[in-house]
Structure 1
Amino acid sequence: MSSMQPDPWATLARLYGLQNQPARTLVLLAFIGVSFTLLPLSAAAGDGDNDSTLSALTGSLATDNLSTAALELSGAVIGSIVIENGNVFNTDIAAENKVLYRTANAIHKRTRQQVIEQQLLFHSGEPYSGRLLEESERILRSDPYLQEARIQPVRNSDGEVDVVVTTRDAWTLRPSVAFGRSGGENSGGIGFDELNLFGTGIRVGLKYRSDVDRDSLSFQFLDNNLGSSWTQLQATHANNSDGFRRGLRVEQPFHALDSRRAYGLTLRQNERIDSLYDRGLTQRQYQGRSTEFDLYTGWSKGVADGWARRYLVGVAGDEHQFAGIADEPGQSPLVPDNRRFVYPYVGIEFVQDKFEKARNLEQINRTEDRNLGTTFSARVGFASEGFGSDRDALLVRTAIGRGFGNTSSRSLMLEAGVDGRWESAGLRNLTANFSARYFRRHSEGSLFYASLSGRIGQNVDLDNLIPLGGDTGLRGYPLRYQMGKSRALLTIEQRYFTDWYPFRLFHVGAAVFADIGRSWGNNPVAGANPGLLRDVGFGLRLGSTRAAQGRVVHIDLAYPLDGDNSISNVQFLVGTKRSF
């Protein structure tokens, strides 16, 4: 920022005698916290469009409001299963009975009934289970080609419970001319992506993308229910300006809490040029090539006392090779060390069944499924020169998550993990990751959100240095403004969810935010670390209820409060993300 412009924070500091950096930061946090708490809470919730249109699909099928416990206690069994799948727009309501919406429905190929039916965890003649109905709902809602899903029991007089499965399709054909901007850099692309080919649930895509790193032409194929099974097949291929990317995955995961078996094979190859950054500028580059594979099988006894416990064995390989690139005459290349690991491993997973449904947390007017229970996973492998590794090493990966509170008022989501290896020379590439996300609902249209995340690294591989900047949460700064072995980021937002629904295509939200973060640790190409960085800003959020995957468009203005004079006074960011 220009030194000729007045610094409002310096003015406040002089007025209140807070010239030192820690005191100024504390005042900033206190000001934001008090302001967000006292902000007006008059924003309205969404108009419940998905609820009303789904209800319209059920027609005369009405539940008798018997509780799950009563149905299970009575020994009821499932009778008929009725599937009602609505098109993208509900032309039964006047607001959507328009030429444009009718045309879109006519073009769209609706999801086939058997695609929905094969994902249900219950069948006619089986004992009624409310848990299986709820989990089937979650599975259907996770499909990118569905806007919403609801499963309701309907009591009849023969001791059976008929079930109606109600879904609504999303618009899945996405011919795209994309543009994005973050951290002062533009990105764009053109292509198409069909997430529900001829209503089969199969995804195919062909895209060209250009960004600050590379130009890429990529193809993707994905079938999550190969041959009406739970087996997934995914293939990707990309020709890039600096190399290539290939991948193949065949897997039957633990698709449900009560799943008993899983297996999978994943193959990946990647060649590209990576960079080391300082203050958003490339300082060194190197060519990297990686080859990875993972073959595993797993088993479980299913759900017991609200927990699913799973066990895995497998063998994995991970090889990385690097070559230096001298950008300037006489400049010595800086290259990560080559490494190759081939190892058998064992693993465990624990998942607690404590799911809740929510709206207006991370999405706008869409049902969100969140697990407030505990999840834990651990994997340990031993790489040996006898297996083809270039050294002996013990490789460890763990992760744990836990939710607290409830989605209707306030909740806290905690996650942590450790990843690293033990070699003859000691710990290498050891990273500890953590994340805490806090949600406090003032009303259906107003939410306070705070997030603290970070990574602590020790003896981190040079190619695993972590960036911090406009593309990684510090919105007021250029891309990769800082880079180091560790980082921490605090984000505070006041979120608003309005009832504005332009053209019945997307819901509008807004946010006022502040980010505070820094990275640290040895970056061999960095100058003096600028220390703690802060920004404030505001923006619009456009959440599509019609398009697949429920992406949210972000349009933000962010103002940096620290950094050097090379940084623009304001950063304009446009992008599409998975959440608010």
Structure 2
Amino acid sequence: MTCGGRRGQLAAALTIGLCTIGSALRPLSLAAQQTRVEQVRPPVSSQGRLPVTGCSGQPKSDIVVISQPPFTDRLPRDLDWVRRAVRATHANTRDDVVRQFLFLKVGEPCNQIKRAESERILRAQPYLVDARIRVYDDENGGVRLEVETRDDFSLMVEPMLRGSSPQFRGLRLGESNLAGFAKQAVVEWRNGMAYNDVLGVQFTDFQFLGQRDELRLEARREPFGQRLNLEAVRPFYTDLQRFAWVASVGGRREPHQFLRGDIETNAVNVRRAFSNVGGLARVGPVGRLRLIGASITREEERVDSLPFLLTPLGVRPDTLGEAALLFRRQNVLRANLLLGVRAIRFVRVQGFDALTGTQDIRVGAQAGVSLGQSIVVGPAVDRDRFLSTNVYLGWGGEKWFAGAQGITEARYDLTRRQWDNVIGSGRAAWYFRPAVRQTTVLQAEWATGRRMRAPFQLSLADREGGLLGHRQSREPGARRLVLRGEQRLVVPTRLNVADVGLAGFVEAGRLWTESSVPYTVDTPWRGVVGVSLLAAVPPRSRRLWRVDFAVPVSKDPRARFEVRLTGIDRSRTFWRDTRDVERSRERTAPTSLFNWP
């Protein structure tokens, strides 16, 4: 229609009227269409549209969660099938899961400490690559918070391969973020050869009953026994929370094997049951606080005195005529006092324990103590006292960081009036990152057992605490010290499928003997040098995949060139006990409370 054409006075008046009405209705129509679009449009990032402001007491008008899948960056056309395949099998972390970890609520004043702690706790979740909480001006006197998370690759497929026949020994299959609900489920099978096949299931709920609690379940049939563990815990995530608690029950029956040098390995059967319930409360200000609590623990352990042989063809009696291995039977109920002090701040760093991923390191000091007194009730007849300590120190920043942690426990026998079962382990490390793509790591790891009355033995063959290239080592010890050095280099790539890198490393270790640990010897220093291929999938993932090529340089006759594939996320905790140490510890020390993150 043309407004202003000459068609007579009546036609002109009618035309002008219609044009006027149309002009008046057009803005209303556009506004209505825009409203309908905004109602169905999903939340989008404000970055680039609104100015970023500080979080300093403004009222929060809205909190938007933006959950990103793996491989958010653009991939080359030839590799775009990777993005499609991953997203077809992946479920994004749900918004309500992310919101449960927030200490922020709409309408409350924006608090910088709560914002930073919420972001850090999200970043520490194993199914997330990274998390950011950004603050934007809502142009109405308040702020709008955007919580952006990016998921890690959640499907777990880990074949177990060996160089000898049969090469395919087992498979570990699972999902680390089941349907986006922050639940991990894993099943495992491994060929038991002459014994039972290993069948295992693990389940972890990182938001048990919709809270910031964790439920952990492990059931496993071993080649010669079984294991069952159930634990519910509210870890001490942050100084902002008031309480932490733990409840656990479990047991196992399995052989404890002993290396004997060139003589065939023997074993004794161990039966163990435990239970634990306790909690902590915070006393003091955020950043410099004290923890106090209590727990009730139950420990029962029985060890057979007659050793036997676990041969490739099955179980055989040990006919070497050696004396029986004598271990103390334990049956104790304890009341424990839990104490802790904490003066910690967190620094966000990149490329320390991960290849390029981010993590939050603890700077400051933290100490936890457990003091236990036995209670003679019913079958619990042992009379003892128990002491456990967990000490952490850390200092540094984004360019370099030095830290140390040690965990020690001991039992005082009131009948014999002496300390026994003294177990200690720990780690000291120095990280140096002079450039974005370079990282140097120097570390020392130690473990010791003294006056042992329970099965215990260390070796350089242990997969976690020993040396590469020494898987066939037969030398046992009671104390172990391993020194490691590594130089990592990130290799630039534009594929956006993975971060890749190279590393050169050296390792050295030795063992010492102790009369209470069977068959142990003093060894000279053993060494190994090698190179590694490194990868993080997807980019910036904190799980570091590595293929190590290790060449022994010591005179151990059983040391061999080794190629080892591993994929581990070490960014959540500074130190975790190796399995050969952890299996001999008592379950009374509340490491679940003192060791997070």
Q: Could you say which TM-score interval applies, normalised by the shorter chain?
A: 0.7 to 0.9
Task: Assess, with a 3 A threshold, how the Cα gap between structure 1 residues 314 and 445 changes in structure 2: closer, same or farther.
Answer: same
* d(CA) in 2 for partners of 1:402, 1:201: 31
Partner of 2:120: 138
Partner of 1:250: 232
Please say if 1:460 is aligned against 2:452.
yes
* d(CA) in 2 for partners of 1:294, 1:186: 41
Please say if 1:369 is aligned against 2:350.
no
Match of 1:309 among 290, 295, 304: 290
Partner of 2:51: 64
Partner of 2:557: 565
- 1:550 partner letter: R
TM-score normalised per structure 1: 0.81
Q: How does 1:330-345 map to 2 (within 5 A)?
A: 331-332=321-322, 333-345=324-336
Partner of 1:12: none
* d(CA) in 2 for partners of 1:185, 1:130: 57
* d(CA) in 2 for partners of 1:309, 1:530: 43
Structure 1: give runs of 5+ residues left out of the alignment.
Answer: 1-55
Please say if 1:539 is aligned against 2:529.
no
- 1:422 partner letter: Y
Task: Assess, with a 3 A threshold, how the Cα gap between structure 1 residues 429 and 242 changes in structure 2: closer, same or farther.
Answer: same
* d(CA) in 2 for partners of 1:553, 1:174: 13
* d(CA) in 1 for partners of 2:162, 2:135: 45
Match of 1:428 among 388, 406, 420: 420
* d(CA) in 1 for partners of 2:82, 2:445: 44
- 1:297 partner letter: G
Task: Assess, with a 3 A threshold, how the Cα gap between structure 1 residues 542 and 201 changes in structure 2: closer, same or farther.
Answer: same
Please say if 1:382 is aligned against 2:373.
yes
Please say if 1:80 is aligned against 2:62.
yes
* d(CA) in 2 for partners of 1:357, 1:290: 41
Q: How does 1:486-525 map to 2 (within 5 A)?
A: 486-500=479-493, 504-522=496-514
Report Cα offsets for 1:219-259 as digits up to 9, x if no partner: 12221212322232222211222111111112233333211
Task: Assess, with a 3 A threshold, how the Cα gap between structure 1 residues 126 and 560 changes in structure 2: closer, same or farther.
Answer: same
Q: How does 1:208-223 map to 2 (within 5 A)?
A: 208-210=189-191, 215-223=197-205
Task: Assess, with a 3 A threshold, how the Cα gap between structure 1 residues 566 and 171 changes in structure 2: closer, same or farther.
Answer: closer
* d(CA) in 1 for partners of 2:555, 2:366: 39
How far is 1:530 from its partner? Answer: 2.9
SS of residue in 1 equivalent to 2:386: strand
* d(CA) in 1 for partners of 2:166, 2:431: 31
> Number of residues paired by the alignment?
514
* d(CA) in 2 for partners of 1:431, 1:470: 17
Partner of 1:551: 543
Partner of 2:299: 318
Please say if 1:329 is aligned against 2:319.
yes
* d(CA) in 1 for partners of 2:532, 2:80: 31
Match of 2:438 among 442, 446, 449: 446
How far is 1:191 from its partner? Answer: 4.0
Task: Assess, with a 3 A threshold, how the Cα gap between structure 1 residues 211 and 130 changes in structure 2: closer, same or farther.
Answer: farther
Q: How does 1:24-423 map to 2 (within 5 A)?
A: 58=45, 60=47, 64-67=51-54, 71-72=55-56, 75-90=57-72, 98-179=80-161, 188-210=169-191, 215-279=197-261, 282-301=264-283, 304=285, 306-323=287-304, 324-327=306-309, 328-329=318-319, 331-332=321-322, 333-386=324-377, 388-408=379-399, 410-423=400-413
8 Å CA contact 1:445–1:496 kept in 2: the answer is: yes
Q: Percent identity?
A: 19
Structure 2: give runs of 5+ residues left out of the alignment.
Answer: 1-42, 310-317, 572-597
8 Å CA contact 1:441–1:447 kept in 2: the answer is: yes
How far is 1:481 from its partner? Answer: 4.1
How far is 1:154 from its partner? Answer: 0.6
RMSD of aligned alpha carbons: 3.0
8 Å CA contact 2:457–2:518 kept in 1: the answer is: no
Please say if 1:530 is aligned against 2:523.
yes
SS of residue in 2 equivalent to 1:227: helix
8 Å CA contact 2:199–2:221 kept in 1: the answer is: yes
SS of residue in 2 equivalent to 1:334: coil
SS of residue in 2 equivalent to 1:476: coil
SS of residue in 2 equivalent to 1:550: coil
Q: Specify which structure has the bigger relative contact order, considering alpha-carbon pairs within 8 angstroms and separated by 6 or more residues.
A: 1
How far is 1:552 from its partner? Answer: 1.9
SS of residue in 1 equivalent to 2:342: strand
8 Å CA contact 1:275–1:282 kept in 2: the answer is: no
Report Cα offsets for 1:336-356 as digits up to 9, x if no partner: 322122101010222333111
* d(CA) in 2 for partners of 1:374, 1:63: 40
SS of residue in 1 equivalent to 2:302: strand
Match of 1:475 among 468, 480, 498: 468
SS of residue in 1 equivalent to 2:97: helix
SS of residue in 2 equivalent to 1:469: coil
8 Å CA contact 2:512–2:521 kept in 1: the answer is: no
Task: Assess, with a 3 A threshold, how the Cα gap between structure 1 residues 85 and 423 changes in structure 2: closer, same or farther.
Answer: same
* d(CA) in 1 for partners of 2:136, 2:498: 33
- 2:359 partner letter: E
* d(CA) in 2 for partners of 1:185, 1:420: 43
